[in-house]
Amino acid sequence: MPRALITGITGQDGLYLSELLLSKGYEVHGIVRGQNNPRRAVVRRAVPDVHLHTGDLTDLSSLIRALGASHPDEVYNLGAVSFVAYSWDNARVTTDVTGNGVLNMLEAVRLHCGDDPSRVRFYQASSSEMFGKVQEVPQRETTLLWPRSPYGVAKVYGHYMTINYRESYGMHASSGILFNHESPRRGPEFVTRKVSMSVARIAEGLQDELVMGNLDAQRDWGFAGDYVEGMWRMLQQPRGDDYVLATGETHSIRDLLDVAFAHVGIDDWSGIVRQDPQFMRPAEVDLLIGDAAKARETLGWAPTVSFDRLVRMMVDHDLALLRAAR
Ligand code: GDP
C-alpha cells in the first residue's frame, strides 16, 4: 500500500487530494498545525481514514517527526498562508510559512531519505501568482516570474528551492504551477466563494448588497478536483519536473458576477454590487491565463469542469447549505 503525507490537509486541495489518494488505495497521513485547530474536525468528518500528525511548516523537527511516523512514498506540500490580500499586512508570517516552510519540508525529506534522496517523491504547490505582472500571454513553465505580492514572492522562493533540491541532490521534486482552482470547499475570503455565498444569500432574501474590489482582474479558474489529479500524475513520472495546470481560458470578476447572478435569475446586478477601496490591493495581478500543453502532453491531464459549470456548482452548493440550515 503506497503512503502519502500531506501538509495543508485541512484546506480545499488537501481534502480533495486525500479523497483521491484514498480511492487509489493509499494510506494517507496529514500534518495539522496548532493546538485545538478547529479544522481538524473538518478533516475528520470529510476523510475519516486519514491519519493526522501535529506539526508546523516553521518547525523543522516537527516535520522530521511526522515523516518518521508516516514513512511516506510521496509528500505533497500544500500548506501555506494562501490569501494574497492578507499577505501585505502579514508579510513576515507569509514568508516564514509559504516560503521558508518549503525549505523546511525539503530539508526534512532530504534528511529522512538518507542515502537515496529520490526515495520519497515531493510535490510543491506553486502558484500562478508567481507570474504577477505577466511577461508573456499565456503563461507557461518558462515564463519569467514577476510576483506582485508578498505571497507571490514567497511562492517564487519555494518554487526555485524545489528546483534547487532536485538539481543539487537528485530529489524527485516537482513544482506544480497551478492557476486559480475553486470548489464549494474554497475559503470564503476568495472571490469565487465570496460571490457564490453572497449570491445565494441575496437569492434567499438574506442580503441585499455585495461589496467588492477590482472587477476588471482576469483569472484562469478551474475546478480543484481536477487539479489534485494533476498533482498525483506529476509524482508518477520517472523524474521530477515543473508543470503548469490551467484551463487556458480567462474570465473577469464581472464575468463571474454575470454567471453567478444569472443562475439565480438576476440579469442586472449593477444595483446590487458596490465597489469599495477596502477590497482593492496595493498591487494587482491583472491577467492570468495558463498554457497547460506540457501537462496535457506529458501527464495526459486535462480539466473537465468549465467556468460556467464551476460557478453554478458553487452557487447551488451555497443555496443548498442555506436551505438545509432553515
Ligand atoms: P488570488 O488570485 O489568489 O488573489 O485569488 P482571489 O480569489 O483572492 O482574488 C482574485 C481576484 O479577484 C483578484 O484580482 C482580486 O483583486 C479580485 N477581487 C475583486 N473583489 C474581490 C473581493 O471582494 N475579494 C477577493 N478575495 N478578491 C476580489
Same domain, 162 and 61: yes
Residue 326: CA count within 13 A, CB half-sphere: 10
Same domain, 235 and 255: no
**Domain containing 164 — which CATH number?**
3.40.50.720
**Amino acid identity at 60:** L
315 shares a domain with 229: no
Q: What is the CATH number of the domain that holds 199?
A: 3.90.25.10
Phi, psi of 283 (to 5 degrees): -145, 135
How deeply is 8 buried, as exposed, middle or buried, from its count of CB atoms within 10 A (0-12, 13-18, 19+)? buried
Nearest residue CA, atom 9 of ligand 1? Answer: 191
* pLDDT of res. 231: 99
Domain assignment present for 265? yes
Say whether both 170 and 206 belong to one domain: no
Shortest-distance atom of ligand 1 to CA 286: 14
Judge whether 129 lies within some domain: yes
Cβ contact 127:178 at 8 Å: yes
Residue 319 CA to residue 264 CA, distance in Å, equals 10
Q: Which of 27, 74, 129, 182 is catalytic?
A: 129
Best of 127, 149, 177, 191 to mutate for ligand 1, by most ligand atoms within 8 A of CB?
Answer: 191
Same domain for 167 and 276? no
Instruction: Return the H-helix or E-strand segment holding 318.
Output: helix 307-325
Closest atom of ligand 1 to 275 CA is: 20
Please tell me the distance from the alpha carbon of residue 57 to that of residue 16, in angstroms, as a whole number: 21
Looking at the 3D structure of the chain, how many domains does it have? 2
**Ligand 1 cavity residues, CB under 6 Å:** 84-85, 129, 180, 189-191, 194, 212-214, 217, 219, 253, 279, 281, 284-285
For cell 444569472, name the residue. 262
| Strand 222-223 versus strand 121-127 pairing type | unpaired
CA distance 20 to 209: 38
**CA gap 51, 9 in Å, rounded:** 11
On whether residue 262 sits in a domain, the answer given is yes
Look up the domain containing 204 and give its range.
Answer: 186-219+250-287+306-325
Same domain, 160 and 144: yes
* pLDDT tens track, the chain, 326 positions: 999 999 999 999 999 999 999 999 999 999 999 999 999 999 999 999 999 999 999 999 999 999 999 999 999 999 999 999 999 999 999 999 999 999 999 999 999 999 999 999 999 999 999 999 999 999 999 999 999 999 999 999 999 999 999 999 999 999 999 999 999 999 999 999 999 999 999 999 999 999 999 999 999 999 999 999 999 999 999 999 999 999 999 999 999 999 999 999 999 999 999 999 999 999 999 999 999 999 999 999 999 999 999 999 999 999 999 999 98
Contact 57, 105 (CB under 8 A): yes
Give, using CA atoms, the residue closest to atom 1 of ligand 1. 84
Domain assignment of residue 292, yes or no:
no
- Both 44 and 131 in one domain: the answer is yes
Q: Whose CA is nearest to atom 20 of ligand 1?
A: 213
The confidence score (pLDDT) of residue 313 equals 98
- What is residue 9's three-state secondary structure? coil
* 191 Cα to the center of ligand 1, angstroms: 5
What's the gap in Å between 8 CA and the centre of ligand 1? 21
Q: Tell me: do 170 and 119 sit in the same domain.
A: yes
Within this chain, do residues 100 and 53 fall inside the same structural domain, yes or no? yes
Residues 84 and 200 in one domain: no
Asked if residue 198 and residue 117 are part of one domain, the reply reads no
Q: Closest ligand 1 atom to the C-alpha of 288?
A: 2
